[in-house]
Structure 1
Amino acid sequence: MLIELAIGDAYGAGFEYADRGFVVAHNDLTGYLQHPGHDTIRPGDYTDDTQMTLAIAESIVSGEPWTPEHLADRFVAVFHRDPRDGYAGRFRDFLDTVHTGAEFLERIIPASDKSGAAMRAAPVGLLPDIAEVLARTEIQARITHDTADGIESAQAAALAVHYCRRHLGPTAEIRSWMGRQLGSRWATPWRGKVGSKGWMSVRAALTALSTGQSLTEILRTSIAFTGDVDTVATIALAAASHSSDVRQNLPAALLSGLENGPFGRDYLYDLDQRLHAAVG
């Protein structure tokens, strides 16, 4: 799962909010692209979506208490051990200046309804009980996104993984199932450009997941929406990587081209093994 979502994130980073013409011309999955508008993220590097997911995954693996304090410690630690671009500018500046979880919690203003809590929620969805998935996802979301939409979009992202991992139904029916869990808007297909709100990214991811039969199709569809597509692809591939309905056929070029520094491809693979062992 962590490899697949990082590939979605890194591939999507080359297209995030790019012009539709650029997306149409280059969304062919042949390799990673340099974003046409900025060069701070190199092709094949993942962004904050994956880095924050590592914090959640490492928290689960550690078995430490699932508290805002411990989670905030993880958010700070994963950033400072491997500072990178991809975060929203103000949040990146904030992370630069905090060095403990206690300081993070003291200074954060958790009023966002954007996608940050949803993009990192996938590991929670591996837990075997829906009530626990919802409760733990809400705790992690409230740290930075203590709004109704911020929390619910994170829960939907985690539940998508849970649905696929626990084989609760075909992927074609995931939107209707999500509607029964969280409300009717989650059953509505997404169309058009994806904005910055968390519910937008998750609904687009659910649409890509429910209409695609392979990881390549789901990834291409996620990017074709345009807008905040790295987050859409991260959420969609995290869930799809667990579905028996979905062919696991990401191109070899995307796997080999994914960054492989200290916290890159090999680390992601190892952490994924430990994560799945921890949740059973």
Structure 2
Amino acid sequence: MLDKILGGLFGVAIGDALGATTEFMSQKEIEAEHGIVKDIIGGGCWDVQPGETTDDTAMTIAVAKGIITNFEDPIEDIGRQFLLWKNTNPIDIGITIRVVFKHFEGNWFEAAKRAHDILDGRSAGNGSLMRCLPVALAYYEIYKMEQISVAQSKMTHFDDLASEACIIYNRIAHRLLRNDDLKTSILAEIKNTRYEKISSLKPDCPADGFVVNSMKWALYWLLNYVSFEEVVIGATNIGGDSDTIAAIAGGLKGLEVGYNNLPNHYKNKILDKEQLADLANQLFEIRERETNA
């Protein structure tokens, strides 16, 4: 179980660090400048250091810390972690979350609704999906897991499309933590949903920050490629919102294969590796405690 939890968190960070190099680039631009990005090399639009991660990993860490602080009702503590992160002046904050921060006056859900209105109803970004995995890692009871998945999404993303994606994603993760097969888990959880028709054909949509499109691309890589490297490299080199799509896909694939099977040349480059390992151990302890209660 600990190996899986470590694999999930490191999978997010590795995908994020890889994709940060190609974020907002087109496939043609990536090919012209890099050929194929296969390693964590930094650079990109944010000029990150090799192994430096972006908001995807930072907000995942924030969610994990909030859960660890207050397992029973983590939302306010997750929010405090969001604000602590914001106050570090991070290089990248998503549009929806930036608007929520601007209008936050003590109630996250009210701020999310206000942001939704200000953005003319366009609050279905992928910013809550990219950070939701710690919920599945900590909560083994599926009703509680779904409840917290929705709540952490609604803190910043009012649109139901965002929370729907978080539930599907974390239900897949829940199955993987029971040692179910990844492809079988995905197909079971996307049945009778808007994602049901994901196939061997690349999605007919841009690889952008709209949560439905991001989810479709992540599922495409997960369903059609076998190794962790193939999944995150594929997502990285499609461009667009590549860091988030690679992080989303990397989280589930890392959860499936486990930390010990992740490539060392990726794991060792992650600058936040000590913090991620510590959080994984704390989430594992919580899960063990709750499972045996």
Please classify the TM superposition score into its range, dividing by the shorter chain length. 0.7 to 0.9
Percent identity over paired residues: 21
TM-score (norm 2): 0.80
Q: What do the CA deviations read for 1:19-72 (whole angstroms, capped 9, x no partner)?
A: 21243444342332311xx34433321111111111111122223442543332
Aligned equivalents of 2:260, 2:91: Cα separation in 1: 32
Aligned to 2:234: 221
Match of 2:207 among 177, 184, 194: 194
Is contact 1:67-1:139 (8 Å) kept?
Answer: no
Q: Decide whether the 8 Å contact of 1:178 with 1:187 is kept in 2.
A: no
Shift in CA distance, 140/256, structure 1 to aligned 2, threshold 3 Å: same
Per the alignment, in what secondary structure is the counterpart of residue 241 of structure 1?
helix
Does 1 or 2 have the higher relative contact order (CA < 8 Å, sep 6+)?
2
Matched with 1:31 is: 40
Per-residue deviation, 1:246? 10
Determine if the alignment matches structure 1 residue 156 to structure 2 residue 168.
yes
- Distance of 1:49 and 1:173 partners within structure 2: 26
Equivalent residue number for residue 64 of structure 2: 57
Question: Out of 269, 273, 278, which is 1:257 matched to?
Answer: 269
Structure-1 residue corresponding to 2:291:
none
Native 8 Å contact 2:109 2:154 kept in 1:
no
In the alignment, the residues of structure 1 paired with residue 287 and residue 9 of structure 2 have an alpha-carbon distance, to the nearest angstrom, of: 15
Instruction: Name the structure 2 match of 1:272.
Output: 280
Whether the aligned pair in 2 keeps the contact of 1:34 and 1:42 (CA below 8 Å) is yes
d(CA) in 2 for partners of 1:73 and 1:92?
15
Q: 1:183 to 1:86 in 2, by over 3 A?
A: same
- Which residue of the partner structure matches residue 87 of structure 1? 93
Query: What is the alpha-carbon distance in structure 2 between the residues aligned to residue 187 and residue 245 of structure 1?
Result: 28
Pair 1:90–1:43, CA change in 2 (3 A): farther
Query: d(CA) in 1 for partners of 2:165 and 2:96?
Result: 22
Contact preservation (8 Å) 1:27, 1:224: yes
The alignment of Structure 1 onto Structure 2 pairs a total of residues equal to 268
Q: Quick check: 1:102 aligned with 2:106?
A: yes
The answer as to whether partners of 1:137 and 1:155 remain within 8 angstroms in 2 is yes
Look up the equivalent residue of 2:94 and give its one-letter code: A
CA contact (8 A) 1:23 1:224 kept: yes
Residue 6 of structure 1: how far off its partner (Å): 0.8
The AA in structure 2 aligned to 1:116 is: G
Q: Does 1:178 align with 2:189?
A: yes
Output the CA distance in 2 between the equivalents of 1:239 and 1:49. 14
**8 Å contact from structure 1 (residues 113, 147) kept in 2:** yes
Q: Please, which of 137, 140, 149 is the counterpart of residue 152 of structure 2?
A: 140
Instruction: Using the TM superposition, give the Cα deviation of residue 94 of structure 1 relative to its aligned residue in structure 2, in angstroms.
Output: 6.0
Q: Is the 8 A contact 2:67 2:74 kept in 1?
A: no
Q: Matched residues in 2 for 1:234 and 1:161: separation? A: 14
Letter aligned with residue 222 of structure 1: A
- Verify the 8 A CA contact 2:19 2:244 in the aligned structure 1: yes
Equivalent positions of 1:40-51 (< 5 A) are 40-51=47-58
Deviates more, 1:152-161 or 1:196-205: 152-161
Provide structure 1 residue ranges, at least 5 long, that are not aligned to the other structure.
none
Gaps in structure 2 of 5+ consecutive residues: 1-7, 117-122, 289-293
User: What SS does structure 2 have at the residue aligned with 1:145?
Assistant: coil
- CA deviation after TM superposition for structure 1 residue 241, in Å: 1.5
When structure 1 is superposed on structure 2, of 266-275 and 205-214 the one drifting more is 205-214
CA change 1:136–1:114 in 2 (3 A) is: same
Query: 114-123 or 201-210, which moves further after superposition?
Result: 201-210
Structure-1 residue corresponding to 2:20: 13
Q: Supply the distance in 2 between the matched residues of 1:63 and 1:77 (Cα, whole angstroms).
A: 16
Q: Secondary structure at the match of 1:120?
A: coil
Question: CA contact under 8 A between 1:13 and 1:46: conserved in structure 2?
Answer: yes
Give the CA RMSD over aligned residues: 2.7
TM-score normalised to the size of structure 1? 0.84
Q: Which residue, 127, 134, 138 being the options, matches 1:123?
A: 134
